[in-house]
């Protein structure tokens, strides 16, 4: 008999998994970009009350935790990654009472809350930096940043040849003649982590938010806090290629690990399995593993996996290397396909391979969505923890045709460094089919939403058989019920046709067809879930191109 399958609803949550203390080892964590998630007051900008109102949606989606991108007091020169006050909420997002209410409601719904921490740099409107400028050369406050005299006869040249990640020199000169270091925008001066006051301040900031009740921190630029001794010119070093971008070799200095050991002592004072997650761009997964040794951080983003093309051979290589690197330090692998800094994977996979993580063309959207759905099921089947970026559960593409007049990414206007096309993945998500901002709020939206956005909305996809949203809901529910999904440190690879990945984890089997054409494989048992239509007959299964299937060998 021939049968066709797509999404199949799983059974209730596995009680054994629910009781796990080390929840983070197999957690699915949902990234909320607050300004683009939900707007409660109609000003076109998302806010904490908007996030709070939508928490039941995230509970029902089936995620374990919510990671909030920055909502601190900030001039917004880099969308909140330029922090003026680490203990205050920016008025555009609400206030501390709103943050407290959000955390309490999330906990009441069984969701944990992780907040961004930005320790590499502050805003130039931070009180320390403003005082440093006012007090001039020799001020003790200048020692908390990297102020230096310039080179040249009159100090007219930057102290070294470092370049900003956003393009242009990494130094800005102030009226009194000194220069300060900023690896990102000039409005983001880098802290000097050799100064003890900086470490004292951030340990205090950690305790402030832990006392409010957050469950952990995502550490922005975790690899960048410590600079090479003497701040030497790049010309005296080999440059490192990382994910297609030139990065300065003082990133990923060994000294950062002393900082995280001190932070871990602070975190371990608190009950409730609270965690650190590192945004650490390193040349290899082996270097990434250094951040998650037992006395440091808990997780680190797997950017090598994010940057891998939809290709069975390349995917198997990075999966094996990741699991091998994490096993000696006892940390879970993490898997991620999209975030607020890269082109959404539904658009990346719609374009030819090898273009990197920021892409300017829409490509073949049908192909991109098909591959994105298949890639999601592959990711969620791997051992460890997974991250979902808001809207990917709707299959949202990047909005690639934004005009210069509406773009707000600071890197875009500097003409060098990062491509500056991050606005495309930050367009507010659609909740309803209609309305001035498709349910994002009762006003407009800070970045324009494209026509037809409503047909990708939560309202349009909820209850619709075969929709991407329902595929995510079924996959996340299955992770909770299948004992062989989630935590672990290995897979058993199975023989498979060219262009196909197949692996077993206990009684669970995942097969992903990246070949671009339909293939026939064994049917490994009872079909749990598939990203596309799969035909089974006589113990075999026919998988269309760009399709992933989950089976279980249990009845």
Active site residues: 220, 269
Strand order in the sheet with 534-537: 3-5, 534-537, 540-543, 519-522
Polymer length of the chain:
555
The closest alpha carbon to 471, from 60, 32, 6, 14, belongs to 6
The closest alpha carbon to 85, from 96, 73, 76, belongs to 73
Residue 33 near residue 501 (C-beta atoms within 8 A): no
| Structure letter (DSSP) for residue 189 | P
The closest alpha carbon to 512, from 277, 402, 349, 303, belongs to 349
- Find the largest Cα–Cα distance for the chain: 86
The closest alpha carbon to 307, from 258, 205, 375, belongs to 375
**The residue to which tokens 């943050």 are assigned:** 99
- 10 Å Cβ neighbour count for 201? 17
Phi, psi of 158, rounded to the nearest 5 degrees: -60, 155
Q: Which helix (H) or strand (E) holds 346?
A: helix 345-348
Given CA atoms 426, 378, 299, 479 in this order, what sign does their dihedral have? positive
How is 391-437 classified by DSSP, letter by letter? TGGGTPPP-----TTT---GGGGTSSSS---GGGG-SPPP-SSSSTT
For residues 248 and 401, give the distance between their C-alpha atoms in angstroms, rounded to a whole number: 31
Phi, psi of 428, rounded to the nearest 5 degrees: -55, 140
**Helix residue ranges per DSSP H, 188-302:** 196-212, 256-267, 285-289
For residues 122 and 189, give the distance between their C-alpha atoms in angstroms, rounded to a whole number: 6
Residue 62 near residue 477 (C-beta atoms within 8 A): yes
Alpha-carbon distances of 490 from 18, 26, 289, 324, rounded to whole Å:
22, 13, 16, 8
Alpha-carbon distances of 195 from 87, 140, 142, 192, 255, rounded to whole Å:
21, 10, 10, 6, 13
Residue 467 near residue 452 (C-beta atoms within 8 A): no
User: Do strands 534-537 and 540-543 pair parallel, antiparallel, or not at all (unpaired)?
Assistant: antiparallel
Alpha-carbon distances of 319 from 80, 313, 335, 379, rounded to whole Å:
33, 10, 9, 10
């Amino acid at each position: 008999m021939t049968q066709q399958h797509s999404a199949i609803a799983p059974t209730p949550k596995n009680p054994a998994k629910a009781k796990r203390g080390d929840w983070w080892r197999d957690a699915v964590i949902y990234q909320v970009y607050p300004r683009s998630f939900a707007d409660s007051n109609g000003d076109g900008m998302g806010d904490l009350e908007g996030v709070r109102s939508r928490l039941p949606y995230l509970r029902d989606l089936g995620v374990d935790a919510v990671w909030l991108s920055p909502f601190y007091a900030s001039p917004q020169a880099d969308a909140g990654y330029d922090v003026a006050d680490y203990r205050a909420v920016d008025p555009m997002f609400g206030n501390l009472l709103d943050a407290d209410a959000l955390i309490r409601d999330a906990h009441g719904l069984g969701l944990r809350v992780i907040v961004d921490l930005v320790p590499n740099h502050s805003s130039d409107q931070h009180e320390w930096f403003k005082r440093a400028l006012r007090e001039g050369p020799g001020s003790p406050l200048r020692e908390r940043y990297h102020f230096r005299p310039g080179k040249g006869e009159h100090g007219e040249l930057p102290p070294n040849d470092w370049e900003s990640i956003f393009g242009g020199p990494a130094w800005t000169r102030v009226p009194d003649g000194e220069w300060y270091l900023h690896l990102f925008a000039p409005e983001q001066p880098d802290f000097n982590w050799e100064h003890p006051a900086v470490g004292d301040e951030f340990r205090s900031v950690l305790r402030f938010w832990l006392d409010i009740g957050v469950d952990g921190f995502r550490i922005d630029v975790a690899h960048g806090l410590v600079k090479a001794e003497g701040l030497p010119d790049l010309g005296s070093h080999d440059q490192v290629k990382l994910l297609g971008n030139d990065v300065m070799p003082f990133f990923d200095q060994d000294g950062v690990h002393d900082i995280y050991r001190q932070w871990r002592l602070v975190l371990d004072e608190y009950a409730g399995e609270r965690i650190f997650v590192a945004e650490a761009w390193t040349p290899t997964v082996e270097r990434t593993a250094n951040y998650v040794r037992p006395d440091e951080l808990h997780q680190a983003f797997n950017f090598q996996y994010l940057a891998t093309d939809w290709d069975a051979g390349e995917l198997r290589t990075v999966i094996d290397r990741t699991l091998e690197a994490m096993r000696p330090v006892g940390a879970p692998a993490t898997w991620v396909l999209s975030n607020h800094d890269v082109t959404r994977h539904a658009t990346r996979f719609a374009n030819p391979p090898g273009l990197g993580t920021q892409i300017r063309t829409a490509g073949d959207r049908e192909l991109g969505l098909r591959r994105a759905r298949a890639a999601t099921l592959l990711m969620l089947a791997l051992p460890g923890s997974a991250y979902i970026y808001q809207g990917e559960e709707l299959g949202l593409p990047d909005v690639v045709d934004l005009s210069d007049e509406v773009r707000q990414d600071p890197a875009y206007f500097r003409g060098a460094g990062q491509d500056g096309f991050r606005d495309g993945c930050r367009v507010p998500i659609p909740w309803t089919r209609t309305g001035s901002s498709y349910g994002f709020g009762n006003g407009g939206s800070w970045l324009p939403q494209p026509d037809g956005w409503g047909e990708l909305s939560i309202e349009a996809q909820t209850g619709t058989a075969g929709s991407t949203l329902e595929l995510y809901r079924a996959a996340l529910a299955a992770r909770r019920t299948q004992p062989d999904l989630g935590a672990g440190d290995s897979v058993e690879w199975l023989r498979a046709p060219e262009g196909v990945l197949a692996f077993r984890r206990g009684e669970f089997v995942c097969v992903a067809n990246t070949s671009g054409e339909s293939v026939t494989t064994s049917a490994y048992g009872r079909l749990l879930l598939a990203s596309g239509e799969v035909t089974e007959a006589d113990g075999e299964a026919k998988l269309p191109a760009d399709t992933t299937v989950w089976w279980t060998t249990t009845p």
